[in-house]
Structure 1
Amino acid sequence: MEGAGQLHSWTLLFLHLCLSATADLVNITAETGQNVTLSCRANNNNLVTFLEWSKHGLRKGYLLLYRDERFDLENQHSSFKNRVDLQDRQMKDGDVSLILKNVTLDDRGIYECRVETKRNRRKRANQDDDPVVIISLNVVPPEQKHITAETGQDITLPCRAPNNNIHPIVVEWSRADLDEYVLLYRDEGSVLEDQHPSFMNRVDLQDRQMKDGDVSLILKDVTTNDAGTYECHVVQGGPSLKKRLINNKPICIMDVRVVDPPGGGQEAEGKEDGSVGLIVGLSVSAVLLVAAVVGFLIYRQLHQQQDPYQPPVEMQPV
């Protein structure tokens, strides 16, 4: 993997040196699952008559092709179908920026934007069109986020998927150290088969409609056993809907740490033990006090019975 990464870097450097003479190279870095905008603008504000977005290394097809006043979908590369669109389909002010949705590691590479307008079309008719913009896109795994919660709390693991409005959709939350999933949700609802028992009736999506791509997870009444690294995998459409998504690249990674609340744990146990000891001590003291009083009364009663009553001297016979 390291050798492949170095080869990729050398390839990008070589292409940069070769292409720097024609257009400036723009570098963009994105995380997997994000939508990115590849900015491009025509040299003037005239009507755009031709637009081509391409990527180096594609054997056949384009990302997006516009000509003869329409978008050509027949020659679009299959890996970009339903994943690309113009930022402004009217291309006002020469804006032909491209939106690339739900990027993956396979989207890394060099992208070129070629555009013609009504003014410069005849001038370029017998020439090879130079790209207006050259963009180097680097895609990296999502940054791992950290969440700390107290035992007994309900927590939300935030995550957002590309809002492509592509159905059906499958969302899977998993934990690195578990074979079973935390939550598996399809368009029709949750799937309970193969769910880890400890998460039964304790997890749900924040929004089951998943509006705006919201696939955040709610985890209720957390315990120290819930600590770990959680991953969210999403698939929209396609044949893989019948399989687990564990082999797909995660769009979100969360490291969850669960701690006892202030005054909890050993400290609380110590206080509780102290309280119990105090209560027991007071109870024993009360019992001893009552026993002493009762003993004294019994002693006094017995003493009176052994020493009968004697009248005063003046009342005794002479």
Structure 2
Amino acid sequence: MSAVPASLCSTLLFVGLFVFVSADKKNITAESGQSVTLTCRAPNNNNDIVEWSRPDLEPKHVLVYRGGNLVSDDQHPSFKNRVDLQDRQMKDGDMSLIVMNLTINDTGTYECRAFTSGTNCRKKANRSVEPISIINLSVVDPPDPKIITAESGQSVTLPCRASNNNFIILEWSRAGLGTQHVVVCRDGQFTPDDQHPSFKDRVDLQDRQMKDGDVSLILNNVTTADSGTYECRVLMGEIHSWELNIIYLSVVGPPGQTGGDTEDGGKKDGGKKDGGKKDGSVGLISGLSVCAVLLVVVGGFLIYRKCKQQNDGSYQLPVELQKV
């Protein structure tokens, strides 16, 4: 048997090592409706073709980027208009994939490959290389929102915890505020410009250091106008995906308040002690008085009518008196 050239052995060893260490495998869990970033970074910047695929699909391509454009011819229809590269310039070899508006059907194994334009021989050689990144994505339905009830004037804590401390942005929002938020924190710093005026000087984080991912919100001096659905969103730095927590807050008036406050601070419709009983007694007495007046009027009318009949000419004496 002829000896294998040393250069060929070195080449095979290099290729074997490259295949073994090139694939970066990760497991990611996200909730339906969210967006997620699947990370992929090439070892060099010479690649100008990127393919993201899912082997269980037909066609299998999730995204194809070639010649500075997204190519949709071979793309699976379920991903059209829902995917993009995080950086189309692919600076520093960044070929990460963004998948928007996730559904349960997006669960699967995603593979990232990079190629360099050139001869057909080079393309085929490059395509035989193992994926650069393999990510197992699991999409689950979001949990049912927590329901918290508080009274007007109280302080309430809306709990939220990120999976770890490696996050870039924290956003607390409430439905109906438009583009403004309850509180926003970027890179550990509050950004009051994005805060809705109704929450200024009334909110704070339970732990400003956000240790162990604790990003719970304290809302002081709540009113019924604070009722609504609150969302706690955290952008994780490692995987560039959002974590979401939903809480419904219901703010009610103080106990015993049914008719609102009067101008002098008392309660309408029986707000005072035993006020309800007194109002009931007054109503009963008033009803009896009205009945008595009606009886007097009707009785008086009947007596008047009888007397009038006796005084007119048509009145006839009793038979016994007529005989006399």
- Specify the TM-score bucket, using the shorter chain as the normaliser: 0.3 to 0.5
TM-score by length of 1: 0.44
